[in-house]
């Protein structure tokens, strides 16, 4: 499929003539956030790949960091400070439009659970789960000064600071933003093109959306790319008001989407932390909408997970696009949360990942 146009700039959501095209484009990019999560492996190896990126997107390299995706991994890596790395995303190049690059940053399906524990009444939560989750969120929300001013959640930003470009076997891999800029520069040179001809789109969901915000900030500020796009779903608060203002000032073409029933976009809690100015809120069907709000195009089962899944965000953005997203059996629990038949993707037959996953 060709890259959708127009690019869904934030201003399109106040333009009735453009909003549906912008919603379709965001839903199309949402599928890559889901694929990035499906690629997760529960050890330090690299994923095998995923045929669903083909034939449009050619794999370039892996992004890795020191935090795992599930609750056990979060506790093991984040709280204990272990240094072994795990897959966190990937860099792709479009096969037909080689000046276009895609970066996918995976989220964590444990996100809704830790968010729930932040906002729930403490006396109804018990035992070790509460103690560990409390420490996880505390570490995630501790204030850390951003290099350009303002404050960001230390845990989230620490994941970004530890993120590198390169496979598991890479010796001394470069920091993510530096490595991506260098890699794209090399690929552009091979085609007699420059970094200034390249456009980069960063897609992230949940925890990955916050990390994607930090990455797109640095790419827009330092890389020299023609355009940096950031399409973020279920984005936790990535920083304070000063950070959010600086993010806007980088010129990133950003849309951050938050569903009103999703717990994750409400944490870490205000007043210190705030959503990005480029946030569009999805309202439940039948609600009245204000500026920078849109009505859900599909009905989602009101559950902690259903309100948060990337494929559910795609369905709420555009039922037409979501219907055609390719899903494997491992996505079934997420797909089942979509209650509108007109928006529910069909599950692919056969194994989750074919023998030649990139082809």
pLDDT tens track for 230-241: 999 999 999 999
Reading the block at residue 294, the tokens are 């849109």
Q: Find the mean pLDDT for residues 293-299.
A: 93
Q: Is 349 a residue whose pLDDT tops 80?
A: no
pLDDT at 353: 63
Q: Is 322 a residue whose pLDDT tops 70?
A: yes
pLDDT at 33: 95
CB-based burial label for 59 (10 Å; 0-12, 13-18, 19+)? middle
Percent pLDDT > 90 in the chain is 56
Residue 309 pLDDT grade (very low, low, confident, very high; cuts 50, 70, 90): very high
Residue 145 pLDDT grade (very low, low, confident, very high; cuts 50, 70, 90): very high
Q: Is 130 a residue whose pLDDT tops 70?
A: no
Q: Find the mean pLDDT for residues 250-264.
A: 94
Reading the block at residue 284, the tokens are 């439940």
**Bigger pLDDT: 135 or 6?**
6
Residue 12 pLDDT grade (very low, low, confident, very high; cuts 50, 70, 90): confident
Q: Which of 40-49, 85-94, 273-282 has the lowest mean pLDDT?
A: 40-49
Long-range contacts of 289-298 (CB under 8 A, 24+ apart): 291/14, 292/13, 292/14, 294/13, 294/19, 294/23, 296/259, 297/23, 297/343, 298/322, 298/338, 298/339, 298/340, 298/342, 298/343
Q: Is 201 a residue whose pLDDT tops 80?
A: yes
Q: Is 73 a residue whose pLDDT tops 50?
A: no
Residue 252 pLDDT grade (very low, low, confident, very high; cuts 50, 70, 90): very high
**All residues at 6 or more sequence positions from 175 whose CB lies less than 8 Å from its CB, including other chains:** 161, 163, 164, 165
pLDDT digits (tens, 9 = 90+) for 80-126: 555 567 889 999 999 999 999 999 999 864 555 445 444 443 443 33
Rg of the chain over all Cα atoms, to the nearest angstrom: 19
Q: How far apart are CA 322 and CA 309, in angstroms?
A: 12
pLDDT at 290: 85
Return the beta strands (E) in the chain as ranges.
57-65, 86-94, 100-105, 143-145, 151-153, 164-165, 199-205, 227-233, 253-259, 279-283, 293-295
Q: What is the DSSP letter of 274?
A: B
pLDDT at 154: 83
For the chain, what is the mean pLDDT?
84
Q: What is the DSSP letter of 215?
A: H
Domain ranges of the chain: 10-343
Q: Which of 139-143, 316-320, 333-337, 355-359 has the lowest mean pLDDT?
A: 355-359
Domain 10-343 in CATH 3.40.50.1820 = yes
**Residue in the structure block whose two tokens are 């529910």:** 344
Long-range contacts of 322-325 (CB under 8 A, 24+ apart): 322/27, 322/298, 325/31, 325/34
Percent pLDDT > 70 in the chain is 81
């Amino acid at each position: 499929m060709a890259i959708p146009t127009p690019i869904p700039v934030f201003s399109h959501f106040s333009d009735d003539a453009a909003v549906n095209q912008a919603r379709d484009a965001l839903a199309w990019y949402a599928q890559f956030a889901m694929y990035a999560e499906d690629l997760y492996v529960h050890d330090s190896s690299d994923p095998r790949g995923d045929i669903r990126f083909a034939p449009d997107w050619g794999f370039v390299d892996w992004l890795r960091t020191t935090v795992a995706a599930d609750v056990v991994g979060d506790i093991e890596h984040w709280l204990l400070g272990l240094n072994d790395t795990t897959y966190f995303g990937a860099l792709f190049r479009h096969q037909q439009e080689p000046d276009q690059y895609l970066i996918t940053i995976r989220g964590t399906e444990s996100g809704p659970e830790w968010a729930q524990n932040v906002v729930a009444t403490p006396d109804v939560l018990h035992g070790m789960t509460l103690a560990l989750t409390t420490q996880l969120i505390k570490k995630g929300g501790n204030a850390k000064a951003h290099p350009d001013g303002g404050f960001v959640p230390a845990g989230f930003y620490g994941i970004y600071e530890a993120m590198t470009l390169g496979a598991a076997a890479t010796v001394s891999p470069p920091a993510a933003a530096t490595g991506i800029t260098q890699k794209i520069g090399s690929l552009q040179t091979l085609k007699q093109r420059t970094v200034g001809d390249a456009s980069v789109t960063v897609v992230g969901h949940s925890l990955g959306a916050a990390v994607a915000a930090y990455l797109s900030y640095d790419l827009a500020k330092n890389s020299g790319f023609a355009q940096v796009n950031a399409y973020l779903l279920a984005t936790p608060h990535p920083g304070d008001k000063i950070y959010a203002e600086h993010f806007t000032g980088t010129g990133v073409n950003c849309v951050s989407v938050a569903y009103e029933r999703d717990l994750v976009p409400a944490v870490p809690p205000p007043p210190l932390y705030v959503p990005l100015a480029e946030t569009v809120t999805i309202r439940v069907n039948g609600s009245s909408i204000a500026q920078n709000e849109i009505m859900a195009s599909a009905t989602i089962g009101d559950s902690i997970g259903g309100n948060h899944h990337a494929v559910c965000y795609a369905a709420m953005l555009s039922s037409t696009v979501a219907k055609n997203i390719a899903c494997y059996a491992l996505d079934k629990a997420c797909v089942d949360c979509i209650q509108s038949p007109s928006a529910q993707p069909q599950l692919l037959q056969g194994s989750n990942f074919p023998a030649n996953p990139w082809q």
